[in-house]
Amino acid sequence: MNQPATPQSASPYGTLPPASNPALRKPVSLPRLLEMHARGEKITMLTAYDATFAAVADAAGIDCILVGDSLGMVCQGLSSTVGVSLETMRYHVECVTRGVRRVQGTAWIIGDLPFGTYHESKEQALRNAAVLMQAGAHMVKLEGGGWTADTVRFLVERGIPVCAHLGLTPQTVHALGGYRVQGKTVESAAIMKRHAHALQEAGAALLVLEMVPAALSSELTAELPHCPTIGIGAGKGTAGQVLVLHDMLGLNLGKMPKFVRNFMADLPGVQGQHGIKEAMQAYVAAVKNGSFPDNSQHAW
Ligand code: KIV
């Protein structure tokens, strides 16, 4: 039976949503994500950076919350993710974790390792991944191709689940020459496939594919049974989807990326926290039922 909706605290500065009934909850775990993928259930992921949004996302039924270094752009006003520090990531992972724990939530929390914190050596990556894990992350994410495979293996062997990230990797935007679709040529698609297989082989448990042609990400998804793919601008054929919170709420102040759908704009006349939770629920439903993304609008 559902518990009555009682606020968790009487603070005048905002109240987190009530905890859901423990009997109805099933925490998201690594085996559960793999089992969802094996059953063909799409995995939902959304970014969050603070306790309240994390708690609302959890209450909306989001499977995975990514504390992304996109916070550099949406929270700190930076022009790219390159300037985000490990201390900033640790702080936001802690905030998100507190929000999810306070509502006894279920979401799987992923902390992004920022630029320069895993590039030097496997030991450096372990030291910095430990900071995010101790702040409450269940998994760390790092960007890059085959050169990261040894690091991924090193972390996984030491009990740190890893999400890899291929395609448009924002930390290397300057080397890539801008936010462009990756893997469009036969050669670059073959290289991406090689890297994706190396990352699965190294033990990566999830793989974000960003701005990758839909056909290529579908092929990769079929070829990587042990490493579910999570797309952002990668079409509907991936094992799951991720969006940046502010984008899907229509709060992007610049040019909205083609792959985004504004889920707030779709709601009939609702506002405030309930509107945000409903927008998140609409996102969960659309990803689970396959209606988002629509390859004719949100993909290449
Ligand atoms: O930092 C982030 O939010 C990300 C997503 C865009 C996947 O890496």
List, for residues 113-136, the tens digit of each pLDDT value.
999 999 999 999 999 999 999 999
For a ligand 1 pocket test, name from 70, 75, 141 the mutation site with the most ligand atoms within 8 angstroms of its C-beta.
70
DSSP 19: P
Q: Which atom of ligand 1 is nearest to the CA of 45?
A: 7
The set of protein residues with a Cβ atom below 6 angstroms from ligand 1 is 47, 66, 68-70, 112, 208, 210, 232, 242, 244
CA–centroid distance, residue 102 to ligand 1 (Å): 24
* First CA to last CA distance, the chain: 45
Cα–Cα distances in Å, from 33 out to 45, 90, 159, 205, 256?
Answer: 11, 24, 17, 9, 29
Q: What is the pTM of this model?
A: 0.92
Annotated catalytic residue: which of 35, 123, 210, 223? 210
| Consecutive H or E run containing 272 | helix 272-288
Q: What percent of the chain has pLDDT over 70?
A: 91
Q: How far apart are CA 181 and CA 167, in angstroms?
A: 7
Nearest CA to ligand 1 atom 5: 68
Tell me the H-state helices in 103-182: 122-134, 149-157, 173-176
Active site residue 35: no
pLDDT in tens, 220-277: 999 999 999 999 999 999 999 999 999 999 988 778 899 999 998 877 766 555 689 9
